[in-house]
Amino acid sequence: MSYIENAEQLTGPFGEALARGELTVQKCNSCGELIMYPKYRCPSCFGNDLDWCAVSGRGQLLTYTVLRFGAPSSFDVEPPYAIGVVRLDEGPQLTGRLHAGADGTWDHYRCDEPVVFEPADAAEVAQRPAAWFAAPRGS
């Protein structure tokens, strides 16, 4: 029986989808559970028939912060930058980055308000494969 053998196999499909501009989450083929972050076994049924599926990219911003000092040196981004925790409409939640608004700040974000997946450019995704979110247009 085959199984996911290492972290590269586990996380690779997420980064590849981001590079295509798509947000995906892991899906258990046995029980249908959507899983984020991906696991070696389904946390619900404990099966290992695991796949990936695209999601709408719509979600709710549970919380966020703007880090202004003390970025990890390996991260190689000059602060400030914003981090958010998003609960997707499909259920799973994940940590990602928040785009700044037109004024260059993150002042327009609020907890529990809607956000949408808006991929970063290819170079950014290649270096730091994270999901980026923004406030819905027109809001």
The site for other proteins (CB under 8 A) is made up of 7, 10-11, 36-37, 62-75, 77, 81, 83, 85, 93-97, 106, 110-112, 128-130
- Edge to edge, the sheet with strand 50-54 lists 34-35, 24-28, 50-54
Partner touching 27 among Zn ion, other proteins, none, CB below 5 to 8 Å by kind:
none
- Collapsing DSSP to helix, strand or coil, 73 comes out as helix
Residue closer to other proteins (CB basis): 11 or 48: 11
Pick between residue 68 and residue 137 the one whose CB is nearest to other proteins: 68
Q: Are 103 and 138 in contact (CB under 8 A)?
A: no
Q: Which does 30 bind (CB under 5 to 8 A by kind): Zn ion, other proteins, none?
A: Zn ion
SS percent in the chain: helix, strand, coil, step 5: 15, 30, 55
50 makes contact with Zn ion (CB under 5 A): no
